[in-house]
Amino acid sequence: MQAGGRGYGGDDRRRIRGVRRQCTVTGLSLVEGPVVAYRVARASYGPLDPPRRQPDTDPAGWSRFDAPGRTIYAAEDEAAAFIEALSWARQDVAEHRKTLAKTAAFLGIPVQELTESIEEEWLRNSSMAPSWVPTVWRQGRRIYRLTFEHGSWVDITHSDTLHALSTALKTDLEMLGVPLGLTLSEVTSANRLLTTRIATWLREKVTLDNGTQPAGIRFQTKHGRIGAGQGLCWAYWMRRRDAGLTDERVTADAGRPFESNYPPYMKALEFHNISSR
C-alpha cells in the first residue's frame, strides 16, 4: 500500500502505446488498440459525465479538443492525470502573483511583505490562499482508471497528421491566421478557435480506411514528459452517448479517493509549486 491511499498496481504503459499506422484515405497518423488511462473527476458526477458542448457557441471556455457533444480526457498514468487536473491552480497562482506585484509596486513595499500580510489575514479568517488546493477540492474527487475498447486514435503531433490537417483544412486555417500550415505550436496552443475546429472536423467529417470513425485524439500534455512516462493524454468523443445509446465504448472503475500525501498527487503539487491540505 502506498502512502496517502491505495494505488493502482502494475505498469499499464505496455497497453497504451498501441500500434501506429497511416490511414490510406486521410493520411492521418493513427494509433490502434485499446487504451488504459487515468482521469481525475468529481465523485458526484463520475468520470464519464463531461459537459455537452453545443454547436454555434463560443469555444473559448472549452477544453483543447472538445467538439460539439461530449469529450472526456484521460492521461497515461496517475501523476499525469493529477498534473492535468491541477492546471487551474497553477494559473490562479500565476495571476495572483501578477496582481501582488502590481499592488506592491503601487504601495511601494516589497512583494514578500505584502504576501505575508495577506496570508496572515487569510489564516485569521480561515480562508484558503491561492497557492493551496482546498481540502474540499481533493475530498470531492477520485482518481479513476478508464478502459477504452479497440479503436483508432489520431496522433495529433505526428508529422503525417499535421500535413493531412494542413491540406484538408487549408481554407479554415488561413481564416484562423495559420496560412503556412500546422506545426506543433498550433496544435498545443491555447487557441480554442483553432484546436476545437480541428477536433470538430476530425469528429464529424472523417471516415477512416477501415470504415470506422476516429475514437478521439492522442496528444502529449503541454507540461512535457512526466517521470518515466511520455506525457500521453487522450481526448475521447462520446459518440454513442451523444446519439442516445447506452453502450459507450469506455468503462471506468469505482475510483479511489486520495489523501494529500498520495505520491502521484504529491508529484503534481510539486510540479505546479502548490500545496494541499
The pLDDT score that the predictor gives to residue 221 is: 86
Query: Would you state the torsion angle of the CA atoms of residues 201, 198, 158, 148, taken in this order, to the nearest 10 degrees?
Result: -70
Q: Which residue has the higher pLDDT, 176 or 227?
A: 176
Mean pLDDT of the chain: 87
Beta-bridge mates of residue 248: none
Average pLDDT over residues 135-158: 95
The pLDDT score that the predictor gives to residue 95 is: 66
Q: Give the total residue count for the chain.
A: 277
Q: State pLDDT tens for residues 230-267.
A: 889 999 999 999 999 999 999 999 999 999 999 999 99
- Entry pTM: 0.84
Residue ranges of domains in the chain:
13-85+138-276, 87-135
Question: Residue 125: pLDDT above 80?
Answer: no
The backbone torsions φ and ψ at residue 122, rounded to the nearest 5 degrees and listed phi first, read: -60, -45
Q: State pLDDT tens for residues 199-236.
A: 999 999 999 999 999 999 999 888 877 776 788 999 99
At 121, the amino acid letter reads E
CA distances to 52, 160, 230, 260 from 66, rounded to whole Å, are 9, 22, 22, 30
Q: Which residue has the higher pLDDT, 133 or 90?
A: 133
Question: Residue 158: pLDDT above 70?
Answer: yes
The pLDDT score that the predictor gives to residue 13 is: 47
Question: Residue 162: pLDDT above 90?
Answer: yes
| Long-range contacts formed by 103-110: CB under 8 A, 24+ apart | none
Cell of 149: 475498447
Beta-bridge mates of residue 152: 32
State the pLDDT confidence band at 23, using cuts at 50, 70 and 90: very high
State the pLDDT confidence band at 51, using cuts at 50, 70 and 90: very high
119: left (phi over 0), alpha (psi -120 to 50) or beta: alpha
State the pLDDT confidence band at 276, using cuts at 50, 70 and 90: confident
Neighbours of 251 (CB within 10 A): 12
Average pLDDT over residues 84-92: 78
Q: Which residue has the higher pLDDT, 68 or 114?
A: 68
State the pLDDT confidence band at 119, using cuts at 50, 70 and 90: low
State the pLDDT confidence band at 99, using cuts at 50, 70 and 90: low
